[in-house]
Structure 1
Amino acid sequence: MSTLEAEPNINVDESTQTDTPLLDTDDVTELIKSIKTASSSDILLPYGSSVFDHSAMAPASPAAAAALARLRAYVPPPFPIWNNLPVSRRAAVLLLLFADRRGDLRVVVTMRAASLRNYSGHAALPGGKADTLEETPFEIARREAFEEIGLPMDDSKFPKSIRIEHLCQLPFNLAKTELAVSPCVAFLHADGANGETAEEAMIPTLDAKEVAAVFSAPFHNFLKLEDEVPAGETVPGSKNDWYEGSWVDWHDGYRWRVHNFYVPINNQKVTKPKEREGGLKAIAEQLEEEEEAGMERYKVWGMTARILVDVARVAYGENPEFEHNDHYGDEQLMETLFKMGRMGEKKNGTPGLTREEIAKEAAKM
């Protein structure tokens, strides 16, 4: 199945939305307990893989542990429409976090193969469409991550000291192809460190049919205007090359924030497929040609960028340094489209939403 990415999707009017609280008063005690027990085996869900070297990953720093605890405590608002959507409208993406050698969180991102019909050549989170109505969002995301980047679904494939913890889901996003996309957040736990970077050891095996590259990005940086540069490292160009953003006016004053992040690749290992055919070969070779010509950053934008910003907001309890849409997801817009009959069975070749249609519905809210 395909990785999901989308051109900027339209969100509902912020004046009718309120943010789901990150933590209420009753959560504080549980949050403190969660931070203290972040590495305890009784809160982890074990999965297995022989392609990860657990000794290369450091324990999470205090700031990272606190971020994980906030994600663990987050509960999204109910979205009952999901249970009424056909399988052709259901999708999920996986935000796989891990701690680098400094204990800071990074997130795994892929570069789509040119052989994919929708949004080829774009940076995206592992994910795709549901196969059955019985699949939960996390099951969809994990299956797609296995197919695309080799993250195993079988518990026995991981060494005993590696575990994947499912942390939370954020409110659903609407892809331009009219899919309800669930952002599913998980953390890769590992014990010990041998000085090798996690990027060199843990980036998964690629699926040669769908993924042209796998890389990682500094998670907290998705709240910042500039690169956060660790001591002893450098970034290509200037630190302010990290972010660009702009507002798009859609209809009657409704505005959507477009985020563009440029992730440095000079201080990490970018994994690319060994076997290349068709569109995969084309995009992999294009990437290498651009890198040889001096490209040292990968662009992350669209729905992927918006989801990363939202998850980072929850994790760190901070607002971005740049302007942004305040609410999470597009659930109110999807409820309206559902009532219009636009979220029914999706047929091949069915056109996605036009700007005019989305703007018209957004203006009603």
Structure 2
Amino acid sequence: MSSKSTAKQPNRLQYHKKKLRLSEARIPPLTEKSKQCLRNLSAYRRPKYDIQFPRARSAAVLVALFVGRMGDLYVLLSRRSANLRTYAGDTSLPGGKADPEDATVEDTARREAFEEIGLPRDRQKVPLLCILEPFIAGNATIVTPVVVLILDNTLRPMLNDAEVASLFSHPLASFLTTTPPFPAEAESVEVPYHTYHDWTSPGPNNTIWTTRAHSFLTGREAGGIKPVFGLTASIMIRVATIGYARQPEFALTPPGRTPPLRARLAWTMISKPEFREACEREGIPVDWKRLHRWAVEDAGQLRRHKKTSAKL
């Protein structure tokens, strides 16, 4: 065996820590909890799913973290313009659909953030922490979150008024708790900081899949800022869960067994005609039988689990 193959492999976590150059960054000193959060995010490797999604139905969002004055981590969130055709006025992360010039999902997320809020694409000032597994949006789009850290707090946003009405921040750790990170206003004392609602959708073999949508108040509702909800809330819960290495205080999913992501991705590809049409237009070879098998096998397991639970 060659000396090259027997040499000690570098620690990837240490490699990422060096790339971040936190000691040279123009940010306040980090708390120990924030340091560990960044280490965990840098070390995260998303699972690989053997599914190729059409570019026309693919999008990416940028989860831009920064360090607050007390050393805690915050995320940049935006209020979408009221003039947009979709999701007008919603609280969201910068992002959008892939363009032909985007080589990767990271390119898509960084380009969209630059176009919407003026965040530089400079990978030294805004290094990559990790890329998460894809999420399924309600408009038949596969959305991939790209997590970065802003190392220069002197950067100032430049909002694209046609797309973004305002920009604000929210503590990352607050997506794991039911306690608001801000003083409650008198008129909203009885409104819970965290709420959720469950909705159902048809799955394969006449099964019913239940999804839980979460919502968090921003503390800016009096000024017209909507809560963080739906897809954006799910993404932020996932980022916080990975970073702080703990589960949220609330129930993340509905009672019973939730189909795994691969099954949900496969069923989305099969059940949404937009995906089949896009794959045909883009010449993407898809093994539809395999996708159907993944979805159906999991649906069968889900049905058996429910019957067993009912007997117990």
Q: How does 1:90-109 map to 2 (within 5 A)?
A: 90-109=58-77
Residue in 2 aligned with 1:120? 88
Residue in 1 aligned with 2:45? 75
Residue in 1 aligned with 2:276? 344
Kindly state the Cα deviation for residue 315 of structure 1 after the two structures are TM-superposed: 0.7
Q: Secondary structure, in 3 states, of the residue corresponding to 2:51?
A: helix
- 1 or 2 for the larger relative contact order (CA 8 Å, sep ≥6)? 1
Distance 1:328 1:315, change over 3 A: farther
Residue in 2 aligned with 1:58? 28
Please identify the structure whose Cα radius of gyration is greater: 2
Kindly state the Cα deviation for residue 171 of structure 1 after the two structures are TM-superposed: 1.0
Kindly state the Cα deviation for residue 141 of structure 1 after the two structures are TM-superposed: 0.2
Distance 1:107 1:329, change over 3 A: farther
Residue in 2 aligned with 1:141? 109
Task: Choose from 196, 203, 224 the match for 1:245.
Answer: 196
Task: Choose from 317, 324, 327 the match for 2:252.
Answer: 324
The separation in 2 between residues aligned to 1:239 and 1:309, in whole angstroms, is 23
Distance 1:335 1:253, change over 3 A: closer
Residue in 2 aligned with 1:184? 146
Letter in 2 for 1:100: G
Distance 1:331 1:44, change over 3 A: farther
Residue in 2 aligned with 1:129? 97
Residue in 2 aligned with 1:86? 54
Residue 185 (structure 2) pairs with residue 236 (structure 1)? yes
The separation in 1 between residues aligned to 2:269 and 2:212, in whole angstroms, is 24
The separation in 2 between residues aligned to 1:87 and 1:308, in whole angstroms, is 24
Q: Is the 8 A contact 2:102 2:108 kept in 1?
A: no
Letter in 1 for 2:39: A
Residue in 1 aligned with 2:157? 204
Residue 175 (structure 2) pairs with residue 222 (structure 1)? yes
Kindly state the Cα deviation for residue 246 of structure 1 after the two structures are TM-superposed: 2.8
Distance 1:261 1:202, change over 3 A: farther
Kindly state the Cα deviation for residue 120 of structure 1 after the two structures are TM-superposed: 0.8
State the number of aligned residues. Answer: 263
Distance 1:125 1:62, change over 3 A: same
The separation in 2 between residues aligned to 1:341 and 1:243, in whole angstroms, is 31
Residue in 1 aligned with 2:234? 306
Given the two structures, how large is their TM-score scaled by the length of structure 1? 0.63
Distance 1:209 1:44, change over 3 A: farther
- Between the aligned residues of both structures, percent identity stands at 31
The structure richer in helix per residue is: 2
Letter in 1 for 2:185: P
Kindly state the Cα deviation for residue 189 of structure 1 after the two structures are TM-superposed: 1.5
Residue in 2 aligned with 1:255? 210
RMSD, aligned CA: 3.2
Given the two structures, how large is their TM-score scaled by the length of structure 2? 0.73
Letter in 1 for 2:139: T
- Runs of at least 5 residues in structure 2 that lack an aligned partner in the other structure: 1-10, 280-294, 303-312
Residue 163 (structure 2) pairs with residue 163 (structure 1)? no
Letter in 2 for 1:317: A
The separation in 1 between residues aligned to 2:132 and 2:212, in whole angstroms, is 19
Q: How does 1:20-39 map to 2 (within 5 A)?
A: 33=14, 38=17
Distance 1:180 1:147, change over 3 A: same
